Structure 1
Protein backbone atom coordinates (compact mmCIF):
# COMPACT_ATOMS: atom_id res chain seq x y z
CA UNK A 1 0.00 0.00 0.00
CA UNK A 2 1.11 3.54 -0.72
CA UNK A 3 2.56 5.33 2.28
CA UNK A 4 2.58 9.04 3.06
CA UNK A 5 5.43 10.80 4.85
CA UNK A 6 3.91 12.74 7.74
CA UNK A 7 7.04 13.91 9.55
CA UNK A 8 10.71 12.91 9.68
CA UNK A 9 10.69 9.26 10.71
CA UNK A 10 6.87 9.05 10.62
CA UNK A 11 4.91 7.72 7.67
CA UNK A 12 1.35 6.42 7.48
CA UNK A 13 -0.56 4.00 5.32
CA UNK A 14 -2.66 5.88 2.76
CA UNK A 15 -5.81 4.36 4.24
CA UNK A 16 -6.32 4.72 7.98
CA UNK A 17 -8.47 2.57 10.26
CA UNK A 18 -10.66 4.64 12.56
CA UNK A 19 -11.43 3.34 16.05
CA UNK A 20 -14.33 5.64 16.93
CA UNK A 21 -16.88 2.79 16.75
CA UNK A 22 -14.78 0.16 18.49
CA UNK A 23 -16.89 0.21 21.66
CA UNK A 24 -20.15 0.04 19.71
CA UNK A 25 -19.87 -3.60 18.66
CA UNK A 26 -21.12 -6.66 20.48
CA UNK A 27 -17.58 -7.88 21.11
CA UNK A 28 -14.74 -5.53 22.09
CA UNK A 29 -12.58 -8.24 23.65
CA UNK A 30 -8.81 -8.21 23.03
CA UNK A 31 -9.24 -11.09 20.57
CA UNK A 32 -11.94 -9.25 18.61
CA UNK A 33 -9.91 -6.04 18.49
CA UNK A 34 -6.83 -7.96 17.38
CA UNK A 35 -8.81 -9.59 14.57
CA UNK A 36 -9.73 -6.14 13.25
CA UNK A 37 -6.15 -4.92 13.43
CA UNK A 38 -4.89 -8.08 11.72
CA UNK A 39 -7.47 -7.64 8.94
CA UNK A 40 -6.09 -4.14 8.38
CA UNK A 41 -2.47 -5.27 8.41
CA UNK A 42 -3.17 -7.92 5.79
CA UNK A 43 -3.99 -5.04 3.40
CA UNK A 44 -1.08 -2.86 4.45
CA UNK A 45 -3.26 -0.59 6.61
CA UNK A 46 -1.00 0.14 9.57
CA UNK A 47 -2.28 3.48 10.88
CA UNK A 48 -4.87 3.39 13.68
CA UNK A 49 -6.84 6.54 14.48
CA UNK A 50 -8.07 7.17 18.04
CA UNK A 51 -9.27 9.99 20.25
CA UNK A 52 -9.41 10.01 24.01
CA UNK A 53 -13.17 10.73 23.90
CA UNK A 54 -14.11 7.78 21.66
CA UNK A 55 -16.52 5.39 23.30
CA UNK A 56 -17.00 7.76 26.21
CA UNK A 57 -13.26 7.62 26.94
CA UNK A 58 -13.15 3.80 26.73
CA UNK A 59 -11.75 2.96 23.28
CA UNK A 60 -8.10 3.65 24.03
CA UNK A 61 -8.33 1.24 26.97
CA UNK A 62 -9.93 -1.45 24.81
CA UNK A 63 -7.12 -1.05 22.29
CA UNK A 64 -4.50 -1.15 25.03
CA UNK A 65 -5.98 -4.36 26.44
CA UNK A 66 -5.40 -5.90 23.02
CA UNK A 67 -1.81 -4.64 22.85
CA UNK A 68 -1.11 -6.12 26.28
CA UNK A 69 -2.09 -9.55 24.93
CA UNK A 70 -0.29 -9.04 21.59
CA UNK A 71 2.51 -6.53 22.27
CA UNK A 72 4.38 -7.39 19.08
CA UNK A 73 1.66 -5.60 17.09
CA UNK A 74 2.81 -2.23 18.43
CA UNK A 75 5.89 -2.29 16.20
CA UNK A 76 3.70 -2.90 13.14
CA UNK A 77 1.31 0.01 13.59
CA UNK A 78 1.19 3.77 13.99
CA UNK A 79 -1.09 5.28 16.62
CA UNK A 80 -2.92 8.57 16.14
CA UNK A 81 -4.92 10.04 18.99
CA UNK A 82 -6.59 13.33 19.88
CA UNK A 83 -7.32 15.42 22.95
CA UNK A 84 -9.00 18.60 24.22
CA UNK A 85 -12.69 17.61 24.26
CA UNK A 86 -13.99 17.36 27.81
CA UNK A 87 -17.45 15.79 27.94
CA UNK A 88 -19.42 14.71 31.04
CA UNK A 89 -18.61 11.00 30.64
CA UNK A 90 -16.09 8.44 31.80
CA UNK A 91 -13.04 10.00 33.42
CA UNK A 92 -14.61 13.45 32.99
CA UNK A 93 -18.03 12.52 34.39
CA UNK A 94 -17.77 15.39 36.88
CA UNK A 95 -17.58 18.02 34.12
CA UNK A 96 -20.55 20.38 34.40
CA UNK A 97 -20.70 21.09 30.66
CA UNK A 98 -19.01 19.84 27.52
CA UNK A 99 -16.11 22.09 26.64
CA UNK A 100 -12.61 22.23 25.15
CA UNK A 101 -9.36 22.46 27.08
CA UNK A 102 -6.07 23.26 25.33
CA UNK A 103 -4.13 24.21 28.45
CA UNK A 104 -0.74 22.62 28.90
CA UNK A 105 -1.94 20.86 32.03
CA UNK A 106 -4.84 19.21 30.24
CA UNK A 107 -2.84 18.25 27.15
CA UNK A 108 -0.07 16.69 29.25
CA UNK A 109 -2.53 14.81 31.44
CA UNK A 110 -4.38 13.55 28.38
CA UNK A 111 -1.19 12.27 26.78
CA UNK A 112 -0.13 10.48 29.97
CA UNK A 113 -3.54 8.83 30.21
CA UNK A 114 -3.52 7.84 26.53
CA UNK A 115 -0.07 6.29 26.85
CA UNK A 116 -1.20 4.30 29.88
CA UNK A 117 -4.53 3.29 28.38
CA UNK A 118 -2.99 2.12 25.11
CA UNK A 119 -0.04 0.37 26.77
CA UNK A 120 2.54 2.21 24.70
CA UNK A 121 5.50 4.48 25.36
CA UNK A 122 4.81 6.87 22.48
CA UNK A 123 2.09 8.28 20.26
CA UNK A 124 2.98 8.63 16.59
CA UNK A 125 0.66 11.60 16.01
CA UNK A 126 -1.21 13.72 18.54
CA UNK A 127 -3.99 16.00 17.30
CA UNK A 128 -5.81 18.84 19.00
CA UNK A 129 -9.33 17.57 18.38
CA UNK A 130 -11.33 20.79 18.08
CA UNK A 131 -10.52 24.51 17.91
CA UNK A 132 -10.74 25.99 21.39
CA UNK A 133 -12.08 29.59 21.54
CA UNK A 134 -10.03 30.07 24.73
CA UNK A 135 -6.81 28.64 23.31
CA UNK A 136 -3.66 30.49 24.29
CA UNK A 137 -1.48 29.64 21.27
CA UNK A 138 1.75 30.24 23.17
CA UNK A 139 0.77 27.83 25.95
CA UNK A 140 -0.72 25.20 23.64
CA UNK A 141 2.13 25.44 21.14
CA UNK A 142 4.79 25.17 23.84
CA UNK A 143 3.08 22.13 25.32
CA UNK A 144 3.01 20.38 21.92
CA UNK A 145 6.64 21.29 21.23
CA UNK A 146 7.70 19.88 24.59
CA UNK A 147 5.84 16.62 24.01
CA UNK A 148 7.70 16.06 20.74
CA UNK A 149 11.02 16.89 22.36
CA UNK A 150 10.26 14.42 25.17
CA UNK A 151 9.72 11.57 22.70
CA UNK A 152 6.29 10.80 24.10
CA UNK A 153 4.79 12.13 20.88
CA UNK A 154 6.53 11.81 17.50
CA UNK A 155 4.50 14.44 15.64
CA UNK A 156 1.62 16.84 16.22
CA UNK A 157 -1.28 18.23 14.24
CA UNK A 158 -4.87 19.38 14.52
CA UNK A 159 -8.39 18.32 13.65
CA UNK A 160 -11.37 20.39 12.50
CA UNK A 161 -9.28 23.59 12.38
CA UNK A 162 -9.98 26.31 9.84
CA UNK A 163 -6.90 27.82 8.11
CA UNK A 164 -6.77 30.78 10.50
CA UNK A 165 -6.91 28.50 13.56
CA UNK A 166 -4.09 26.42 12.08
CA UNK A 167 -1.96 29.48 11.33
CA UNK A 168 -2.51 30.92 14.81
CA UNK A 169 -1.29 27.81 16.57
CA UNK A 170 1.59 27.23 14.13
CA UNK A 171 2.80 30.79 14.66
CA UNK A 172 3.59 29.94 18.30
CA UNK A 173 5.38 26.64 17.64
CA UNK A 174 8.82 25.35 16.77
CA UNK A 175 7.51 21.98 15.60
CA UNK A 176 5.53 21.76 12.38
CA UNK A 177 1.84 20.87 12.49
CA UNK A 178 1.81 17.90 10.12
CA UNK A 179 -1.89 17.48 9.29
CA UNK A 180 -5.42 18.72 9.76
CA UNK A 181 -8.03 15.97 10.07
CA UNK A 182 -11.22 17.44 8.61
CA UNK A 183 -14.58 16.14 7.48
CA UNK A 184 -14.57 15.37 3.76
CA UNK A 185 -16.84 13.19 1.67
CA UNK A 186 -19.30 13.25 -1.21
CA UNK A 187 -21.86 14.25 1.42
CA UNK A 188 -19.67 17.03 2.87
CA UNK A 189 -17.56 18.33 -0.05
CA UNK A 190 -17.14 21.93 1.14
CA UNK A 191 -13.42 21.57 1.92
CA UNK A 192 -12.74 21.26 -1.80
CA UNK A 193 -13.78 24.87 -2.43
CA UNK A 194 -13.83 26.75 0.90
CA UNK A 195 -10.06 27.01 1.22
CA UNK A 196 -9.49 24.29 3.82
CA UNK A 197 -7.92 21.86 1.36
CA UNK A 198 -6.13 24.52 -0.68
CA UNK A 199 -4.50 25.88 2.48
CA UNK A 200 -2.99 22.47 3.23
CA UNK A 201 -1.99 21.83 -0.38
CA UNK A 202 -0.14 25.14 -0.54
CA UNK A 203 1.93 24.01 2.44
CA UNK A 204 2.33 20.44 1.17
CA UNK A 205 0.59 19.15 4.31
CA UNK A 206 -1.31 15.87 3.76
CA UNK A 207 -4.87 16.14 5.09
CA UNK A 208 -6.76 13.37 6.86
CA UNK A 209 -10.46 12.90 6.11
CA UNK A 210 -12.86 11.83 8.84
CA UNK A 211 -16.32 10.45 8.07
CA UNK A 212 -15.40 9.85 4.40
CA UNK A 213 -18.72 8.05 3.86
CA UNK A 214 -20.74 10.85 5.42
CA UNK A 215 -21.37 8.92 8.62
CA UNK A 216 -23.20 6.28 6.60
CA UNK A 217 -25.61 8.74 4.97
CA UNK A 218 -23.88 8.21 1.63
CA UNK A 219 -25.08 4.61 1.61
CA UNK A 220 -28.48 4.85 3.33
CA UNK A 221 -30.49 5.68 0.20
CA UNK A 222 -31.11 9.32 1.09
CA UNK A 223 -29.18 10.36 -2.03
CA UNK A 224 -30.49 7.73 -4.48
CA UNK A 225 -28.96 9.11 -7.69
CA UNK A 226 -25.55 9.51 -6.12
CA UNK A 227 -25.72 6.02 -4.62
CA UNK A 228 -26.85 4.50 -7.91
CA UNK A 229 -23.94 6.18 -9.71
CA UNK A 230 -21.46 4.88 -7.15
CA UNK A 231 -22.87 1.38 -7.60
CA UNK A 232 -22.69 1.67 -11.38
CA UNK A 233 -19.05 2.73 -11.32
CA UNK A 234 -18.25 0.06 -8.75
CA UNK A 235 -19.91 -2.61 -10.86
CA UNK A 236 -17.83 -1.56 -13.85
CA UNK A 237 -14.64 -1.96 -11.80
CA UNK A 238 -15.51 -5.00 -9.68
CA UNK A 239 -15.79 -3.20 -6.31
CA UNK A 240 -18.62 -1.94 -4.14
CA UNK A 241 -19.90 1.62 -3.84
CA UNK A 242 -17.89 2.25 -0.67
CA UNK A 243 -14.62 1.73 -2.54
CA UNK A 244 -15.66 4.22 -5.22
CA UNK A 245 -16.58 6.87 -2.65
CA UNK A 246 -13.18 6.52 -0.98
CA UNK A 247 -11.39 6.48 -4.35
CA UNK A 248 -13.05 9.82 -5.10
CA UNK A 249 -11.10 11.31 -2.18
CA UNK A 250 -7.89 9.50 -3.13
CA UNK A 251 -8.10 10.91 -6.66
CA UNK A 252 -7.47 14.44 -5.36
CA UNK A 253 -3.82 15.59 -5.61
CA UNK A 254 -3.72 16.76 -1.98
CA UNK A 255 -2.76 13.22 -0.85
CA UNK A 256 -5.82 12.82 1.38
CA UNK A 257 -5.69 10.03 3.96
CA UNK A 258 -9.27 8.76 4.50
CA UNK A 259 -10.07 7.44 7.99
CA UNK A 260 -12.50 4.53 7.80
CA UNK A 261 -14.21 2.89 10.74
CA UNK A 262 -16.32 -0.26 10.82
CA UNK A 263 -16.66 -3.19 13.20
CA UNK A 264 -17.57 -5.61 10.41
CA UNK A 265 -14.61 -7.85 9.54
CA UNK A 266 -15.83 -8.41 5.98
CA UNK A 267 -16.02 -4.66 5.40
CA UNK A 268 -12.62 -4.14 7.00
CA UNK A 269 -11.18 -6.72 4.60
CA UNK A 270 -12.52 -4.71 1.65
CA UNK A 271 -11.21 -1.28 2.69
CA UNK A 272 -8.22 -1.69 0.39
CA UNK A 273 -10.49 -2.09 -2.65
CA UNK A 274 -10.55 1.70 -2.90
CA UNK A 275 -6.99 1.57 -4.20
CA UNK A 276 -8.12 -0.54 -7.17
CA UNK A 277 -10.52 2.08 -8.51
CA UNK A 278 -9.56 4.38 -11.36
CA UNK A 279 -11.53 7.58 -11.83
CA UNK A 280 -10.92 9.77 -14.85
CA UNK A 281 -11.53 13.51 -14.59
CA UNK A 282 -15.04 13.44 -16.02
CA UNK A 283 -16.12 10.60 -13.73
CA UNK A 284 -14.74 12.48 -10.73
CA UNK A 285 -16.75 15.54 -11.76
CA UNK A 286 -19.82 13.40 -12.40
CA UNK A 287 -19.73 12.41 -8.73
CA UNK A 288 -18.87 15.94 -7.63
CA UNK A 289 -21.83 17.34 -9.56
CA UNK A 290 -24.15 14.94 -7.75
CA UNK A 291 -22.47 15.81 -4.44
CA UNK A 292 -23.13 19.55 -4.76
CA UNK A 293 -26.51 19.04 -6.41
CA UNK A 294 -25.90 21.15 -9.49
CA UNK A 295 -23.69 21.57 -12.52
CA UNK A 296 -20.40 23.30 -11.82
CA UNK A 297 -20.43 26.99 -12.92
Structure 2
Protein backbone atom coordinates (compact mmCIF):
# COMPACT_ATOMS: atom_id res chain seq x y z
CA UNK A 1 0.00 0.00 0.00
CA UNK A 2 1.32 3.48 -0.85
CA UNK A 3 1.89 6.01 1.89
CA UNK A 4 -1.25 7.79 3.06
CA UNK A 5 -1.87 11.40 2.00
CA UNK A 6 -3.09 13.86 4.62
CA UNK A 7 -4.04 17.51 4.95
CA UNK A 8 -1.31 19.27 6.90
CA UNK A 9 -3.84 21.78 8.22
CA UNK A 10 -7.50 22.60 7.46
CA UNK A 11 -6.45 25.21 4.89
CA UNK A 12 -3.04 23.77 4.13
CA UNK A 13 -1.52 21.51 1.50
CA UNK A 14 -1.95 17.76 1.18
CA UNK A 15 1.29 15.91 1.93
CA UNK A 16 2.40 12.30 2.09
CA UNK A 17 2.33 10.87 5.63
CA UNK A 18 6.08 10.29 5.42
CA UNK A 19 8.41 12.90 3.92
CA UNK A 20 11.76 12.38 2.19
CA UNK A 21 14.39 14.70 3.61
CA UNK A 22 17.31 15.75 1.40
CA UNK A 23 19.59 17.26 4.04
CA UNK A 24 22.40 14.81 3.24
CA UNK A 25 21.82 14.58 -0.49
CA UNK A 26 25.38 15.46 -1.47
CA UNK A 27 26.73 12.80 0.90
CA UNK A 28 24.83 10.16 -1.07
CA UNK A 29 27.10 10.88 -4.07
CA UNK A 30 24.41 10.20 -6.65
CA UNK A 31 24.67 11.28 -10.26
CA UNK A 32 21.67 13.27 -11.56
CA UNK A 33 20.43 10.12 -13.29
CA UNK A 34 20.80 8.04 -10.12
CA UNK A 35 18.99 10.69 -8.11
CA UNK A 36 16.19 10.77 -10.67
CA UNK A 37 15.79 7.02 -10.23
CA UNK A 38 15.65 7.41 -6.45
CA UNK A 39 12.98 10.13 -6.73
CA UNK A 40 10.90 7.90 -9.00
CA UNK A 41 11.23 5.01 -6.55
CA UNK A 42 10.02 6.95 -3.53
CA UNK A 43 7.20 8.44 -5.60
CA UNK A 44 6.08 4.88 -6.40
CA UNK A 45 5.92 4.27 -2.64
CA UNK A 46 3.62 7.26 -2.25
CA UNK A 47 6.24 9.57 -0.71
CA UNK A 48 5.49 12.67 -2.72
CA UNK A 49 6.61 15.36 -0.27
CA UNK A 50 10.27 16.36 -0.10
CA UNK A 51 12.06 18.51 2.47
CA UNK A 52 14.95 20.84 1.65
CA UNK A 53 16.60 24.00 2.96
CA UNK A 54 18.64 26.64 1.18
CA UNK A 55 21.70 25.92 3.37
CA UNK A 56 21.73 22.12 2.98
CA UNK A 57 24.96 20.84 1.50
CA UNK A 58 26.59 24.25 1.96
CA UNK A 59 23.91 25.70 -0.33
CA UNK A 60 24.28 22.85 -2.82
CA UNK A 61 21.44 20.34 -2.26
CA UNK A 62 18.61 22.29 -3.89
CA UNK A 63 20.61 22.77 -7.09
CA UNK A 64 21.62 19.09 -7.16
CA UNK A 65 17.98 18.06 -6.81
CA UNK A 66 17.01 20.49 -9.55
CA UNK A 67 19.55 18.94 -11.91
CA UNK A 68 17.79 15.60 -11.53
CA UNK A 69 14.35 17.15 -12.06
CA UNK A 70 15.53 18.72 -15.30
CA UNK A 71 15.99 15.22 -16.69
CA UNK A 72 12.26 14.61 -16.26
CA UNK A 73 10.38 17.87 -15.65
CA UNK A 74 6.99 16.12 -15.52
CA UNK A 75 7.87 14.76 -12.07
CA UNK A 76 7.47 18.26 -10.63
CA UNK A 77 3.68 17.90 -10.73
CA UNK A 78 3.88 14.78 -8.54
CA UNK A 79 5.98 16.45 -5.85
CA UNK A 80 5.25 18.82 -3.00
CA UNK A 81 8.43 20.84 -2.50
CA UNK A 82 9.14 22.13 1.00
CA UNK A 83 12.17 24.28 1.64
CA UNK A 84 13.46 26.56 4.38
CA UNK A 85 15.35 29.81 4.72
CA UNK A 86 16.50 32.12 7.48
CA UNK A 87 19.89 30.68 8.46
CA UNK A 88 22.94 32.41 6.98
CA UNK A 89 26.14 30.39 6.92
CA UNK A 90 29.64 31.30 5.71
CA UNK A 91 30.39 29.63 2.37
CA UNK A 92 32.16 30.21 -0.88
CA UNK A 93 28.82 31.12 -2.44
CA UNK A 94 28.09 33.68 0.29
CA UNK A 95 31.35 35.45 1.14
CA UNK A 96 29.35 38.25 2.80
CA UNK A 97 28.37 35.80 5.59
CA UNK A 98 31.26 36.33 7.99
CA UNK A 99 29.74 34.24 10.77
CA UNK A 100 26.72 31.94 11.19
CA UNK A 101 23.64 34.01 11.97
CA UNK A 102 19.90 34.23 11.42
CA UNK A 103 18.29 36.56 8.90
CA UNK A 104 14.52 37.00 8.68
CA UNK A 105 14.59 40.34 6.87
CA UNK A 106 12.10 40.74 4.03
CA UNK A 107 14.80 41.06 1.39
CA UNK A 108 16.57 37.91 2.58
CA UNK A 109 13.40 35.80 2.67
CA UNK A 110 12.33 36.87 -0.81
CA UNK A 111 15.82 36.46 -2.28
CA UNK A 112 16.19 33.00 -0.73
CA UNK A 113 12.79 31.87 -2.02
CA UNK A 114 13.55 33.12 -5.52
CA UNK A 115 16.93 31.38 -5.48
CA UNK A 116 15.20 28.15 -4.45
CA UNK A 117 12.78 28.51 -7.36
CA UNK A 118 15.73 28.79 -9.74
CA UNK A 119 17.48 25.81 -8.16
CA UNK A 120 14.40 23.60 -8.48
CA UNK A 121 13.57 24.96 -11.95
CA UNK A 122 9.98 25.57 -10.87
CA UNK A 123 7.57 28.48 -10.71
CA UNK A 124 6.31 27.87 -7.16
CA UNK A 125 7.22 26.37 -3.81
CA UNK A 126 4.50 24.37 -2.11
CA UNK A 127 5.68 25.35 1.38
CA UNK A 128 8.31 27.77 2.65
CA UNK A 129 9.45 27.55 6.27
CA UNK A 130 11.50 29.95 8.36
CA UNK A 131 14.28 27.61 9.44
CA UNK A 132 15.01 29.01 12.91
CA UNK A 133 13.52 31.81 14.98
CA UNK A 134 15.60 34.96 14.57
CA UNK A 135 16.39 36.88 17.75
CA UNK A 136 16.01 40.04 15.66
CA UNK A 137 12.77 38.77 14.14
CA UNK A 138 10.40 41.55 13.08
CA UNK A 139 7.05 39.83 12.59
CA UNK A 140 5.64 42.70 10.52
CA UNK A 141 8.57 42.59 8.11
CA UNK A 142 8.35 38.80 7.80
CA UNK A 143 4.64 39.08 7.06
CA UNK A 144 5.38 41.56 4.26
CA UNK A 145 7.79 39.04 2.74
CA UNK A 146 5.22 36.25 2.97
CA UNK A 147 2.47 38.44 1.50
CA UNK A 148 4.67 39.44 -1.43
CA UNK A 149 5.61 35.84 -2.22
CA UNK A 150 2.03 34.65 -1.83
CA UNK A 151 0.56 37.41 -4.00
CA UNK A 152 3.04 36.65 -6.78
CA UNK A 153 2.18 32.94 -6.63
CA UNK A 154 5.78 32.00 -5.91
CA UNK A 155 4.91 30.32 -2.59
CA UNK A 156 1.61 28.59 -1.88
CA UNK A 157 1.87 28.03 1.88
CA UNK A 158 4.04 29.17 4.77
CA UNK A 159 5.15 27.70 8.06
CA UNK A 160 7.99 27.72 10.56
CA UNK A 161 10.63 25.37 11.91
CA UNK A 162 11.90 25.06 15.48
CA UNK A 163 9.62 27.86 16.72
CA UNK A 164 8.27 28.00 20.26
CA UNK A 165 4.50 28.39 20.64
CA UNK A 166 4.89 32.09 21.52
CA UNK A 167 7.10 32.74 18.49
CA UNK A 168 4.59 30.91 16.29
CA UNK A 169 1.70 32.98 17.66
CA UNK A 170 3.62 36.23 17.19
CA UNK A 171 4.15 35.60 13.50
CA UNK A 172 0.64 34.22 13.04
CA UNK A 173 -0.82 37.39 14.55
CA UNK A 174 0.52 39.38 11.58
CA UNK A 175 -0.94 37.13 8.87
CA UNK A 176 -4.45 36.91 7.39
CA UNK A 177 -3.91 33.24 6.48
CA UNK A 178 -2.72 30.36 8.66
CA UNK A 179 0.79 29.08 9.07
CA UNK A 180 0.34 25.40 8.20
CA UNK A 181 3.05 23.61 10.21
CA UNK A 182 5.95 23.80 12.62
CA UNK A 183 8.86 21.51 11.72
CA UNK A 184 10.44 20.36 14.99
CA UNK A 185 12.96 17.86 16.28
CA UNK A 186 10.98 14.93 17.65
CA UNK A 187 12.09 11.45 18.67
CA UNK A 188 12.36 9.23 21.75
CA UNK A 189 15.79 10.85 22.15
CA UNK A 190 14.35 14.37 22.11
CA UNK A 191 10.92 14.68 23.71
CA UNK A 192 11.00 18.40 24.52
CA UNK A 193 8.10 19.28 22.24
CA UNK A 194 5.89 16.87 24.20
CA UNK A 195 6.17 19.07 27.27
CA UNK A 196 6.89 22.63 26.08
CA UNK A 197 3.46 23.26 24.54
CA UNK A 198 4.52 22.91 20.89
CA UNK A 199 2.50 19.78 20.12
CA UNK A 200 -0.40 21.05 22.23
CA UNK A 201 -0.51 24.13 20.02
CA UNK A 202 -0.47 21.94 16.90
CA UNK A 203 -3.49 20.03 18.20
CA UNK A 204 -5.31 23.22 19.10
CA UNK A 205 -4.74 24.67 15.63
CA UNK A 206 -5.42 21.33 13.87
CA UNK A 207 -2.07 21.37 12.10
CA UNK A 208 0.33 18.49 11.72
CA UNK A 209 3.94 19.15 12.71
CA UNK A 210 6.80 17.88 10.57
CA UNK A 211 9.21 15.76 12.65
CA UNK A 212 12.94 15.88 11.94
CA UNK A 213 15.72 13.68 13.34
CA UNK A 214 13.34 10.92 14.44
CA UNK A 215 16.34 8.60 14.77
CA UNK A 216 18.48 11.18 16.54
CA UNK A 217 20.66 11.78 13.52
CA UNK A 218 21.89 8.20 13.77
CA UNK A 219 22.83 8.51 17.46
CA UNK A 220 20.16 5.95 18.31
CA UNK A 221 22.31 3.26 16.69
CA UNK A 222 25.77 4.40 17.68
CA UNK A 223 25.85 5.74 21.24
CA UNK A 224 26.21 3.38 24.18
CA UNK A 225 23.95 5.54 26.32
CA UNK A 226 20.99 4.48 24.18
CA UNK A 227 21.52 0.73 24.57
CA UNK A 228 18.55 0.38 26.99
CA UNK A 229 16.37 2.16 24.44
CA UNK A 230 17.62 -0.07 21.61
CA UNK A 231 16.88 -3.15 23.72
CA UNK A 232 13.34 -2.00 24.45
CA UNK A 233 12.70 -1.08 20.82
CA UNK A 234 13.97 -4.51 19.73
CA UNK A 235 11.64 -6.24 22.19
CA UNK A 236 8.66 -4.24 21.03
CA UNK A 237 9.59 -4.90 17.40
CA UNK A 238 9.22 -8.62 18.16
CA UNK A 239 5.86 -8.01 19.84
CA UNK A 240 4.39 -6.06 16.92
CA UNK A 241 6.13 -8.06 14.17
CA UNK A 242 8.15 -5.06 12.97
CA UNK A 243 11.15 -5.61 10.72
CA UNK A 244 13.36 -3.08 12.48
CA UNK A 245 13.59 -0.75 15.43
CA UNK A 246 13.41 2.13 12.94
CA UNK A 247 9.85 1.13 12.10
CA UNK A 248 8.97 1.12 15.79
CA UNK A 249 10.40 4.62 16.26
CA UNK A 250 8.41 6.03 13.33
CA UNK A 251 5.26 4.34 14.68
CA UNK A 252 5.99 5.91 18.10
CA UNK A 253 6.21 9.38 16.52
CA UNK A 254 3.08 8.93 14.40
CA UNK A 255 1.04 7.74 17.38
CA UNK A 256 1.11 11.22 18.93
CA UNK A 257 -2.31 12.92 18.70
CA UNK A 258 -0.90 15.88 16.76
CA UNK A 259 -0.15 13.34 13.98
CA UNK A 260 3.45 14.35 13.15
CA UNK A 261 4.81 13.72 9.68
CA UNK A 262 8.20 11.98 10.03
CA UNK A 263 11.00 13.12 7.75
CA UNK A 264 13.14 10.24 6.48
CA UNK A 265 16.80 11.05 5.96
CA UNK A 266 18.08 8.04 4.05
CA UNK A 267 19.17 7.86 0.43
CA UNK A 268 18.90 4.06 0.46
CA UNK A 269 15.62 2.95 -1.06
CA UNK A 270 15.62 -0.29 0.95
CA UNK A 271 15.52 1.69 4.20
CA UNK A 272 12.83 3.98 2.77
CA UNK A 273 10.70 0.96 1.82
CA UNK A 274 11.12 -0.41 5.33
CA UNK A 275 10.13 2.91 6.90
CA UNK A 276 6.95 3.00 4.83
CA UNK A 277 5.73 -0.12 6.64
CA UNK A 278 5.67 1.82 9.92
CA UNK A 279 2.26 3.17 8.92
CA UNK A 280 0.87 -0.34 9.45
CA UNK A 281 2.30 -0.73 12.97
CA UNK A 282 -0.03 -0.01 15.86
CA UNK A 283 1.59 0.31 19.27
CA UNK A 284 -0.37 -0.12 22.44
CA UNK A 285 -0.44 2.75 24.91
CA UNK A 286 1.81 0.81 27.28
CA UNK A 287 4.30 0.02 24.52
CA UNK A 288 4.49 3.73 23.70
CA UNK A 289 5.20 4.54 27.35
CA UNK A 290 7.77 1.76 27.60
CA UNK A 291 9.72 3.47 24.82
CA UNK A 292 9.40 6.82 26.61
CA UNK A 293 10.69 5.26 29.83
CA UNK A 294 13.62 3.53 28.13
CA UNK A 295 14.66 6.79 26.47
CA UNK A 296 14.34 9.00 29.55
CA UNK A 297 15.32 6.44 32.18
CA UNK A 298 12.29 7.06 34.36
CA UNK A 299 8.59 6.39 34.63
CA UNK A 300 5.94 9.10 34.54
CA UNK A 301 5.49 11.02 37.78
Q: Same fold (TM over 0.5)?
A: yes
Aligned-partner SS, 2:211? strand
Task: Map 1:21-170; keep pairs closer than 5 Å.
Answer: 21-25=24-28, 27-170=29-172
CA contact (8 A) 2:19 2:261 kept: yes
CA contact (8 A) 1:57 1:90 kept: no
- Quote the offset at 1:90 in angstroms: 4.0
Pick which of 89-98 and 40-49 moved more: 89-98
Aligned-partner SS, 1:45? coil
Q: 1:170 to 1:90 in 2, by over 3 A?
A: farther
- Quote the offset at 1:148 in angstroms: 1.6
- Quote the offset at 1:70 in angstroms: 1.1
1:280 to 275, 279, 284: 284
2:238 is matched with which residue? Answer: 235
CA contact (8 A) 2:228 2:295 kept: no
1:257 is matched with which residue? Answer: 261
1:17 to 17, 20, 26: 20
Aligned length: 296
Pick which of 114-123 and 33-42 moved more: 33-42
Please, what TM-score do these two structures have when normalized by structure 1?
0.96
1:214 to 197, 207, 216: 216
2:200 is matched with which residue? Answer: 198
Runs (5+) with no aligned partner, structure 2: none
1:188 is matched with which residue? Answer: 190
Aligned-partner SS, 2:8? strand
| 1:126-158 deviations in Å (ceiling 9; x for gaps) | 000000011111010121122122211110000
| 1:181-206 deviations in Å (ceiling 9; x for gaps) | 00000100111112111111111111
| 1:95-129 deviations in Å (ceiling 9; x for gaps) | 11111111111111101100001111110000000
Aligned-partner SS, 1:174? coil
CA distance, structure 1, for counterparts of residue 188 and residue 136 of structure 2: 32
Aligned-partner SS, 2:82? strand
CA distance, structure 1, for counterparts of residue 253 and residue 200 of structure 2: 14
CA distance, structure 2, for counterparts of residue 229 and residue 42 of structure 1: 32
Aligned-partner SS, 1:135? coil
CA contact (8 A) 2:41 2:269 kept: yes
CA contact (8 A) 1:36 1:268 kept: no
- Quote the offset at 1:269 in angstroms: 2.3
- Quote the offset at 1:221 in angstroms: 4.6
2:227 is matched with which residue? Answer: 224
Q: 1:181 to 1:9 in 2, by over 3 A?
A: closer
CA distance, structure 1, for counterparts of residue 214 and residue 151 of structure 2: 33
Please, what TM-score do these two structures have when normalized by structure 2?
0.95
| 1:233-254 deviations in Å (ceiling 9; x for gaps) | 2233142110100100011111
Aligned-partner SS, 2:121? coil
CA distance, structure 1, for counterparts of residue 278 and residue 52 of structure 2: 22
